[in-house]
Amino acid sequence: MVRYLWITLTGILIIALLIGLSAAGTIELDRPEESEIEPIRSSFSTGPTGTRAFYQLLEESGKPVARFLDSYHTLDKKAGNSLLVIVGPFKNSRALPDEEAQSLQQWIAQGGNVLIVSRDPYAQFRDPYIHAGLPPEHPPLNAPPENLVDPRSDDFIVQPTELTKDLKGLAISTLGTRMKFYPPAPEPSPVPTPIEPPVPEEKQEDDSADSLESPVVHLGDEEGAILADFEYGEGRLVFLSDPFVIANNGIARGANLRLALNLINALSADKGTILFDEYHHGYQSQSNPLVNYFRGTPMVWLLLQGTLLCILIIYTYGRRFARPLPLPQIDRNSPLEFVGSMANLQQVARARDLAMENIYPRFRSQICRRLGISARASTPEIIAALRHRHLPISEIDFRQALSDGEMVMKGEQIDDPHLVTIVRRMRQVSVVLNKGKRK
């Protein structure tokens, strides 16, 4: 058996070693420094490029803020008249699918308000009118935050508007792209284009109402806009090309917080909840919250390997690693078993007189033998012999024990507690007599 025990312990040790190696290969002891090369713009992120500080500030200031965990196909049902805040880039830098872009544009045209904060706004809105690019001179993307602030930030204020109110000491980063809005260049076609009939004036107005033309530029320079505002159908659309303004490492610099609050107050006035898009950052409402909590950690592999270890242990306990052993044999010849069986039968049958017949004659003969008198002696003779021996036995209790025993023997009905009391009194007398004999 010891040989198989060592085999089992060796298997457990190997599995524990595999779990340790898996954990060591997955856990990042030194988390890589987060930078603008691969930013994480989620409001769940507390890193320098996340937006947790801005979200928590709005939450603690009493704003109706929440996280939107569904695709844009559900905006009509779940967003209502809320303000949707979209911060890019999305997870893994994936652009918005065309189907969701159409749903987003339709929702805005029907009266929705959207704030898009991204250096590549085309990836979050998918409109060919959007053109954005970095300025010709900018520091490396992994530069520290203090080196990203553009000293000419206040010069970017184009005009006094509700979005630029009380802005003094802005801290726009040098990585903020410059946006321009114009139709894409037509693709060359070898076939001459047929003359199209003139479009009615009413139709032209409908088409231009939902296009990115004639923006109101609030921040920018000669290279393009940094903060642009559109009336998109019945809704409103604002582009901010510098996420540094609302990021954890930039919102507290200069007047960035004032600019962020101006955007929220202007777009959410008389509106519903302020929704931060988290669906495209990898957080989905249909996923399990516990799975989201452990996502990106080795906990999944640890659970799988722990389950395998438990199955192995259960399997080893269910297997026999030696020859079969015979079942233990119980000795059926014990006198106590007979006594216990007879006592149980008498108790079930309520044969208290029969139990007394087994106890009282033995007690009486034992008393007579201890006192040195005949077993046929009467009760007065037994009591006289007891007085002669000067034993520490109460004569009243002794006489009561003999009287009760004889009455039960003659057929008097008693209950179990009374029977136990009589037997206990007899037992006490026997113990005292045995001690007197030893002396």
The answer to whether residue 302 sits within a structural domain is no
pLDDT for residue 294: 65
Question: Which strand (E) or helix (H) includes residue 230?
Answer: strand 224-232
The answer to whether residue 307 sits within a structural domain is no
The answer to whether residue 311 sits within a structural domain is no
The answer to whether residue 213 sits within a structural domain is yes
Last residue of a domain, one of 296, 326, 348: 296
The answer to whether residue 48 sits within a structural domain is yes
The answer to whether residue 10 sits within a structural domain is no
Triad 182, 281, 117: Cα angle to 5° = 35
Say if residue 170 is in the same domain as residue 56: yes
Say if residue 102 is in the same domain as residue 213: yes
Beta-bridged to residue 180, according to DSSP, are 131
> In which residue ranges of the chain is pLDDT below 70?
1-6, 21-32, 93, 187-210, 270-271, 285-297, 318-322, 331-339, 346, 349, 436-439
Say if residue 169 is in the same domain as residue 276: yes
Say if residue 176 is in the same domain as residue 255: yes
The answer to whether residue 276 sits within a structural domain is yes
Say if residue 353 is in the same domain as residue 241: no
pLDDT for residue 207: 43
Say if residue 353 is in the same domain as residue 417: yes
Tell me the pTM.
Answer: 0.59
Beta-bridged to residue 173, according to DSSP, are 149
pLDDT for residue 198: 55
Euclidean distance between CA atoms 8 and 317, whole angstroms: 10
Say if residue 153 is in the same domain as residue 285: yes
Last residue of a domain, one of 296, 321, 351: 296
Work out how many domains the chain is built from and give that number: 2
**What CATH number is given to the structural domain containing 265?**
3.40.50
> pLDDT tens digit string along 29-64?
455 577 888 899 999 999 899 999 999 999 999 999
Q: Could you give the residue ranges of the DSSP H alpha helices within 79-130?
A: 98-109, 121-125
Say if residue 289 is in the same domain as residue 231: yes
Residue 277: domain span: 28-135+147-184+206-296
Q: Which residues contact 256 (CB under 8 A, 6 or more apart)?
A: 170, 171, 244, 245, 246, 250
Which among 106, 112, 125, 49 has a CA at the least distance from the CA of 84?
Answer: 112
Say if residue 97 is in the same domain as residue 235: yes
Last residue of a domain, one of 267, 296, 325: 296
Say if residue 364 is in the same domain as residue 286: no
pLDDT for residue 21: 66
pLDDT for residue 186: 76
